[in-house]
Amino acid sequence: MRIAGHLQDYRALGGVAFALVRDGSGIAQVTLKKETTDPALFAFFASTPRESVIQVDGLVQTSPKAQRGMELIPTQAELLSLAQVPLPLGVVDKVGAELDTRLNHRVMDLRKPAVRAIFELRTALLEGLRQAFLSRGFLEVETPKILRQGAEGGATMFAVDYFDSPAFLAQSPQLYKQMLMSAGFERVFEIAPAFRAEPSDTVRHLTEFTSVDGEVAYIRDGDDVRQVLEAALADTLATARTRLESMGNPFAEKLPVARPPFPRIPFAECEQLLERPGAEQDLATEDEKRLGEILVEKYGNPFYFLTDFPAATKTHTFYAHRYDDRPNLVDYFDLDYRGMELASGGRREHRLDRLTANIRVAGLDPATLEGYLEAFRFGMPPHGGWGFGLDRFVTVLAELPNIREARLFPRDRYRLTP
């Protein structure tokens, strides 16, 4: 049998020695015995630096003491790639390293099985999300990421030089999702990078993140959107759990069971619970955490929707539908999990005159959004949707202290490498 991977460790104990070789499937034990193994192989393993890539041929036999119940008795070994010493970051060291050090040497950090498990979880969630949406008749779409105009103006967008013309990196596919509703696509979703130029430096924010967006036509109100989203998340978690169990991933048993319908709590009730009635100010991070503790204890469900936001908290969201009988409120929601906002969405404004008025209230010029507004001039069905943060979802499910650990190579206010 032949195996290949990184030499994780080598230990010589008298007349026997053990080498651990790690690949994507796990760790294989190579056992060298003085009475049967070529002495040159002892010298090879003893002189090869840890984390070098090697290839070993040999005979497999059962061993109750080996991690997989088997060991490889080597007959030949070859060095495929030599690792420099010292290593910039330990892979199996029990002494932890600071997050900045880990991210500065991210490739080494990603070799750790515990870190790899996070991205197996992420892959399982992506598989579950796609299955959940496709099974509900959604089309997967890909919208532009270089824009002339953003969904919420350019204040939080990265400017780029586009052939000597100003352009921006997309912070959301919002406008295109709505345009596709007019095109008759009716149900679409997109899983793609998004960019937000907020000068935040917190454990919850990134400048480049993955957004899971959906849009649904012919809805009656925001609750139609919520029902689709909560059902899709329940299916996603079930699919992810099955995938992770088959892989032996430790996160399989930690995944929550989503139990729709999730509680719906109007924003006014949230203000009462937080003892700040009438504030009509959006929730700060500490408010979200405190509210999460209260609501999870009250309803027994880690998932919950916050609904019916004051229009004053969503003035930048010009596409949000204001209630006709309560114009001071928008038919919008946040989906939270234990105090962490995962998604935001709701019913959109499909009436051209109302939408144009909202754009002006947001301080934008409708003329700059003509390509978007054209979709509303020739028949736009009632519709709504959401934007869902995949990175935050991975963060809370894996119980990570920092969202940067949920991305392979995170980008934040200060980090552009590696």
**Same domain? 8 vs 59:** yes
**Same domain? 218 vs 339:** yes
| Cβ partners under 8 Å of residue 326, min gap 6 | none
In a domain, 119, yes or no: yes
**Same domain? 208 vs 298:** yes
**Same domain? 124 vs 53:** no
How big is the CA angle at 374 (ends 370 and 380), to the nearest 5 degrees? 140
Burial 352-391 (b: 16+ CB within 10 A, else e): eebbbebbeeeebebeebeebbebbeeebebbbbbbbbbb
Per-residue pLDDT of the chain (418 residues; tens, 9 = 90+): 999 999 999 999 988 999 999 998 899 999 999 988 999 999 999 999 999 999 999 999 998 888 788 999 999 999 999 999 999 999 988 777 999 999 999 999 999 999 999 999 999 999 999 999 999 999 999 999 999 876 666 668 999 999 999 999 999 999 999 999 999 999 999 999 999 998 888 999 999 999 999 999 999 999 999 999 999 999 999 999 999 999 999 999 999 999 999 999 999 999 999 988 777 778 888 999 999 999 999 999 999 999 999 998 887 789 999 999 999 999 999 999 999 999 999 999 999 999 999 999 988 899 989 999 999 999 999 999 999 999 999 999 999 999 999 999 999 999 999 9
Domain boundary among 71, 86, 101: 86
Q: What six digits make up the tokens of 114?
A: 């515990």
Rounded distance between C-alpha atoms, residue 16 and residue 34, angstroms: 6
Residue 153: per-residue pLDDT: 61
Rounded distance between C-alpha atoms, residue 339 and residue 274, angstroms: 13
In a domain, 100, yes or no: no
Q: Residue 11 sits in which domain range?
A: 2-86
Burial class (CB in 10 A: 0-12, 13-18, 19+), 56: buried
Residue 152: per-residue pLDDT: 65
**Same domain? 334 vs 207:** yes
In a domain, 368, yes or no: yes
**Same domain? 232 vs 349:** yes
Q: What CATH number is attached to the domain comprising 123?
A: 3.30.930.10
Element (H, E) at 62: strand 53-62
Note if the bond before 193 is cis, omega within 30 degrees: no
Q: What CATH number is attached to the domain comprising 13?
A: 2.40.50.140
Rounded distance between C-alpha atoms, residue 158 and residue 198, angstroms: 9
**Same domain? 19 vs 151:** no
Residue given tokens 């959906």 in the structure block = 214
How big is the CA angle at 275 (ends 270 and 278), to the nearest 5 degrees? 70
**Same domain? 78 vs 122:** no
Q: What six digits make up the tokens of 409?
A: 């190579």
